Structure 1
Amino acid sequence: MTEQQPRSIRLTDPRALRAYAHPTRMTLVGLLRRSGPFTATQAAELTGESVASCSYHLRILAKYGLVEQAPGGKGREKPWRATAQFTEWPDHSEDAAVAEAANALSGAAIELYFRRVLRAVENRHTLPPEWKEAEQFGDTLVHLTPQELAGLGRRIQELLRPYEDRDLDPARRPEGARPVTFVRIAYLDREFPEGAPRTVHPRGAAGDDEEQ
C-alpha cells in the first residue's frame, strides 16, 4: 500500500456488507494490508486455501472496492493490493437491509477475532517474557452514558492513530516493534443488573475470582 491511498473504505451497500462477511475474504484483506501486494498463488500459500478459491474471493472483494489489481506481475499471475488501510461499516441504520447485513458482518468479524485470540493464547508460552507481560487480556465494567462511551472510543482511537503510519512505512518502526492487533469491543452489558456491585479484574475474565 502507499500513503496516497485512503485511510479507510466505508461499506454501506448490503451486498458489499454480506460479501465481506466471509472469514477468507476478511483474512485476505488483512493480509494484503500487511503483506501485499501478492498474487492469488501467494495468497493460497498464506491462507492454506486453493489458488482457485483465493482468486474467486479476490475478485469478489474487487467488485466491492476492497482490493484492486496492482502493477506488475507476469501473464495471468497478477498481484492484488488492498485499497485502504481500514474497513468501516454502519453501527446502526434505519434501513433494515443495511442494519441486518452490518450486524452479520460485525458478528463474522467478532468470530474471526475470537479464533485469532484463541490461537494467540494457545501459543503464548512461546513468547519472550517481556511480551507476555505486555499483552493484555481483561475486561472492566464501567457505567457510562452513550455520549461518554462514544467519547471514550474517540480517545482510544486518538491514542492509536500515531502508530498507524508504522504499518505503511517499516522505516518508522523502532527496533523491537512487532505487529500487535488491538481489538476494541465495548457493549451495553445486560447480564449485570443496574446498580449491582461487581469486583473489577483488570487482567482477568468477567466473574473470575483471580487475575490472570
Structure 2
Amino acid sequence: MEQRHRVTDVELMTALAHPLRGELLRHLMAHGPRTASECAEVVGSTASNCSWHLRQLAKFGLVEPVDGGDGRQRPWRATIVGLELGELADDDTMRTAQLAVLGSALRQDQQLTQRFLDRNEEIPPEWRDAGALDSYALKVTPEELTGLAEKVDALLRPYVTTIREDAPPEARTVHAAFRAFLWLTR
C-alpha cells in the first residue's frame, strides 16, 4: 500500500508551510482531480492564485496536470497519498516550517469540524449518525503511543481516498483526524 511522502527537504517544507498550498494539496488528495477554478471555490481564493500555487506544488512533484484538460480548464491531481513530516527537527528553519505546516493542517481540521457542527441539519441522518467526535485521555508509554498510532494508520490506510479503488457507489469522502500527544497542563 502506498506510503505517505516523507518530507526531509527544508525548501519543500517551507513551500508547504504556505496555508493555501497545504489546503490545495489536501483538497486534491481528498477529492481527486480538480481545476484551479474548482479549487478556488472551495478554498476561497481566485483561480489564477490557485493555479500559481498548484504550479509551485508541481515543481516539487506533489501535484501534476491531468491529461485531457484544455488550457484554463486543466485539472490537477495529487501525486501523493499524504505527507509525513517526521519528528520535529533540531534545525530552527526546518522546525519552524514543520510547525507552520502542522498549524495549517490543524486549522483546516478545526474548520472542517466546525463546518460539520454548524451545518449538521443539512447532513443526511445516516451520515450525521455515522460520524464520531470522540476524545480520550490515555495512559501509555512513548513506545505504546507509537504503536497505537501505527495501528490506527494501518486501520485507516485502506480507506484513504487516493488509495481506495473498491469504494461502493454510495461512499463519500469523510474527514478523519487522529491526534495523540502528551497532555500538557498550563
C-alpha distance in 2 between matches for 1:157 and 1:25: 24
Who is 2:131 aligned against?
A: 135
- Quick one: which amino acid aligns to residue 35 of structure 2? T
* Cα shift readout 1:7-58 (whole Å, capped 9, x = no counterpart): 4222222222122123322222123224443332333344342121111111
Who is 2:98 aligned against?
A: 102
Q: How has the CA–CA distance of structure 1 residues 174 and 53 changed in structure 2, closer, same or farther, with 3 Å as cutoff?
A: same
The two structures have a TM-score, normalised by structure 2, of: 0.86
Higher relative contact order (CA closer than 8 Å, sequence separation 6+)? 2
Give the unaligned 5+ runs of structure 1. 193-212
The answer to whether the aligner puts 1:60 opposite 2:56 as a matched pair is: yes
Give the unaligned 5+ runs of structure 2. none
The answer to whether the aligner puts 1:160 opposite 2:156 as a matched pair is: yes
Cα offset for 1:188?
0.6
C-alpha distance in 2 between matches for 1:190 and 1:48: 34
- Quick one: which amino acid aligns to residue 180 of structure 1? V
Counterparts of residues 1-212 of structure 1 (less than 5 Å): 7-75=3-71, 77-164=73-160, 168-169=164-165, 172-174=166-168, 176-191=170-185
- Does structure 1 conserve the Cα–Cα contact (< 8 Å) formed by 2:29 and 2:162? no
- Does structure 1 conserve the Cα–Cα contact (< 8 Å) formed by 2:6 and 2:85? yes
- Does structure 2 conserve the Cα–Cα contact (< 8 Å) formed by 1:23 and 1:112? no
Aligned residues: 186
- Does structure 2 conserve the Cα–Cα contact (< 8 Å) formed by 1:21 and 1:109? no
Q: Answer with 1 or 2: which has the greater Rg.
A: 1
* Cα shift readout 1:146-185 (whole Å, capped 9, x = no counterpart): 001000101111111232378542xx12354222111011
C-alpha distance in 1 between matches for 2:118 and 2:145: 32
- Give the stretch that moved more between structures: 39-48 or 19-28: 39-48
Who is 1:196 aligned against?
A: none
- Does structure 2 conserve the Cα–Cα contact (< 8 Å) formed by 1:34 and 1:167? no
Q: How has the CA–CA distance of structure 1 residues 126 and 108 changed in structure 2, closer, same or farther, with 3 Å as cutoff?
A: same
C-alpha distance in 1 between matches for 2:176 and 2:109: 10
The two structures have a TM-score, normalised by structure 1, of: 0.76
SS of 1:190's partner is coil
- Quick one: which amino acid aligns to residue 139 of structure 1? S
Identity %: 36
Q: Which has the higher helix share?
A: 2
SS of 1:68's partner is strand
